[in-house]
Amino acid sequence: MSKLVEINFDGIVGPSHNYAGLSLGNIASVSHKGDPSYPRAAALQGIGKMRGNMGRGLAQGFLLPLPRPNEETLRRLAVDATANRALLAAAWSASSMWTANAATVSPAPDTADGRCHLTPANLVTMVHRAQEWRDTKAQLDIAFGDSKHFAVHDAVPPSFGDEGAANHMRFCEGHDAKGVEVFVYGRPSGKFPARQHEQASRAVARLHGLDPERCLFIEQNPLAIEAGAFHNDVVSVANERVLFTHEEAFADQQGAYDAIRDAFPALEVVEVPSSAVSLAEAIKTYLFNAQLLTLPSGEMALVVPEECRESAAVWSWCEGMLASNGPIRHVIPVDVRQSMANGGGPACLRLRVVADPATVDPRFLLDDAKAERLEDVIAEHWPEQIDPSDIGSEPLARSVRNARSKLLEMLDLRELG
Ligand code: SUG
């Protein structure tokens, strides 16, 4: 008898983690452009977050950094010493750490063939992210290679931008029950790109064999995109029957609640009003880029970035929420500052997959002993600091490649070399 649980697959922060200002519309990425980065600390912060969730009794997996610098990108874009720094940095980016953009996942209870379906995101809007999906798929093919339980698709064609689970929410009574899947898309309107195209979301829903009565397509508020919410998961997050959202997340806020409630009557909305936390403050602190988790006790916890505790408005809203009788009973701050400075909070760093852990390749699952081994490899081989001028240097390229091969060796995943 298979036991479906939510497993969070966090991206291990790669050894080339750096701040290149590559993501127009992502305020943190643009404003930290050129800062020195600390890949070792970044990766250890990520492991710390995974350890925290494991310690709470939750299933934890991980995905690996992709090969960087990406020789194929350098070759296909003819990037040499005369090319601009941004193109060079794109080929070096460690952006696959944000696995909420790795794929969209529809758990087995939602799909026509009763398997869990995964579609890697094409990420076409940003050049540094568009190079990810084939290598991501290679990992998904292994981790979820049991075709009795999983189906891994190719990304949808590039004409329609797809950013994966960052724009996807699932409502259900329990993770193992039939769900209602909500796809949030954007429409181009102002100075920033809308990265999720409605037609990409619709294609993913068809590929996954979702019941049209149990999926919804909702437009993100263009004002949220303009304020820096380049993905829906910067302004809302769902878990089981709860939608935790900013008041200005959707183009038609009340219409969104009504549509979800029609399909899923048990919906509970926890809405943060703009009068308590402005859109700008929500985007700065990433209050909504939180992991909303059901603990083994049945209570829900919100794992937020430390930055939330430093904002008087956000923290007093959280305290007020905890004092009330709402469905979210715990708020847990975590330090993922290295990722945050590139616009990636706790929710960006994980891909949720509902599955029986026994059906997943165990090499991608974490336990305490493996977490310790990961920490050892990172402490020994990840660069301590990268300055922007180091990007492109041959000695750094060698050290980054070597760090990744040590990791693959330790995990017995050399086939991803
Ligand atoms: O795609 N940042 C990522 C952050 C992704 C966050 N993911 C979610 N919201 N789910 C992005 O914008 C910055 C890289 C740089 O500038 O060096 C970057 O790619």
Other C-beta atoms within 10 Å of 171: how many? Answer: 23
Annotated active-site residue 348? The verdict is: yes
pLDDT recorded at residue 188 = 87
Single pTM value for the model: 0.98
Average of per-residue pLDDT across 245-250: 98
pLDDT at 209: 98
Whether the CB of 183 sits within 6 Å of ligand 1: no
Q: Average pLDDT, stretch 304-316?
A: 98
Residue of 116, 172, 308, 348 marked active site: 348
Q: Which of 365, 352, 261 is nearest to 303 (CA)?
A: 352
Residue 292 has pLDDT above 90, yes or no: yes
- pLDDT value at residue 83: 80
Q: Is the CB of 348 under 6 A from ligand 1?
A: yes
Can you tell me the distance from the alpha carbon of 108 to that of 14, in angstroms, rounded to the nearest whole number? 31
Active site residue 215: no
- Indicate if the pLDDT at residue 49 is higher than 80: yes
What lies within 8 Å, CB to CB, of 289 at 6+ separation is 233, 234, 237, 305, 344, 345, 346, 347, 348
| Closest atom of ligand 1 to CA, residue 32 | 16
- CB within 8 Å of 8: residues ≥ 6 apart: 50, 53, 58, 59, 60, 61, 291, 350, 351, 352
Atom of ligand 1 nearest to the CA of 230: 9
Mutate which of 24, 88, 98 for ligand 1 pocket (most atoms within 8 A of beta carbon): 98
Least Cα distance to 217 among 270, 266, 260 occurs for 260
Hey, what amino acid is at 186? G
Is the pLDDT at 1 greater than 70? The verdict is no
Q: 117 catalytic, yes or no?
A: no
Topology of domain 5-416, CATH: L-arginine/glycine Amidinotransferase; Chain A (3.75.10)
Q: Under a CB-based contact definition with an 8 Å cutoff, are residues 133 and 155 in contact?
A: yes
Provide the pLDDT for residue 225. Answer: 97
**What mean pLDDT do residues 252-261 have?**
98
Question: What φ, ψ does residue 316 adopt, rounded to 5°?
Answer: -70, -30
The torsion defined by the Cα of 71, 76, 78 and 81, in degrees rounded to 10, comes to -20
Residue closest via CA to ligand 1's atom 1 equals 23
At 71-112, the pLDDT tens digits run 999 999 999 878 889 999 999 999 999 999 999 999 999 999
For residue 158, what pLDDT is reported? 94
Q: Nearest residue CA, atom 11 of ligand 1?
A: 23
196-205, pLDDT tens digit by residue?
Answer: 999 999 999 9
Q: Which atom of ligand 1 is nearest to the CA of 23?
A: 12
Active-site hit among 32, 168, 197, 231: 231
